[in-house]
Amino acid sequence: MDHTKILNAYLSRLTTADLENILKHDKQCLAAMLNGNNRAQLDAQAGFYAAVANAVNNMAAYDIALIERAIEGVTA
């Protein structure tokens, strides 16, 4: 399976704002991991997951269809 093509399919369909939001939450996860307690880590991970879910929800049906075709192309 070509994970590069799958990741590229997702990244190429996300908006810059969504990518920046995901990156912001990723940095918060890292900071919580290095400096926080377990609760801070769990909260940061929940925020990261929410940012990813929001980005996917912002995609148009056409974007999802393109991603699904890319996945089918590398898993066939």
Q: Mean of the pLDDT values across residues 8-29?
A: 97
The predicted pLDDT at position 36 comes to 80
pTM above 0.95, yes or no: no
Does the structure show a pLDDT above 90 at 1? no
The predicted pLDDT at position 76 comes to 78
Handedness of CA 36, 38, 39, 44 (dihedral sign): positive
Full domain range(s) for residue 64: 3-75
> Residues 22-71: pLDDT tens digits?
999 999 999 999 998 899 999 999 999 999 999 999 999 999 999 999 99
The predicted pLDDT at position 53 comes to 98
Count of structural domains, the chain: 1
Taking each continuous run of H as one helix and of E as one strand, the counts in the chain are 4, 0
